[in-house]
Amino acid sequence: MEPPQNELKDKESLVREKFQVTLPAFIRDRARLNVGDVLLWEYDEHSKTMTVIKRPVNFTGQLAGLGKHLWKNGVETLKKERAREWGE
């Protein structure tokens, strides 16, 4: 069932002649976008969907701590856990 047109009005953008779009206000607010921010775009051929993210100022800083839960008890603990999981 399609949502009523008025529900979509605040969620749509028109692609203009030079392929420019205006981001809906609720997206700008929720994503905390500011004038001058750079957006990164990705298109998935399989699902035919676009993903847009705000480009981090510092990629390294953005990734800092990623996976730290794997190392909280040290490498040896991780090795033992993996050996147990893999039946070694």
What is the rounded distance in angstroms from the CA atom of residue 71 to the CA atom of residue 88?
Answer: 20
Domain that holds residue 12: 1-56
Task: Kindly state whether residue 35 falls inside one of the protein's structural domains.
Answer: yes
pLDDT digits (tens, 9 = 90+) for 8-48: 778 899 999 999 999 999 999 999 999 999 999 999 999 99
Number of C-beta neighbours around residue 1 at 10 A: 3
Instruction: Please count the structural domains in the chain.
Output: 1
Does some domain include residue 44? Answer: yes
Q: Give every CB contact of residue 13 below 8 A, 6+ residues apart in sequence.
A: 21, 22, 23, 24
9 belongs to a structural domain: yes
Q: How many CB atoms lie within 10 A of CB 33?
A: 13
Instruction: Give me the CATH number covering residue 45.
Output: 2.10.260.10
Which residues partner with 54 through β-bridges?
Answer: 39
pTM: 0.57
Residues paired with 39 in a beta bridge: 54
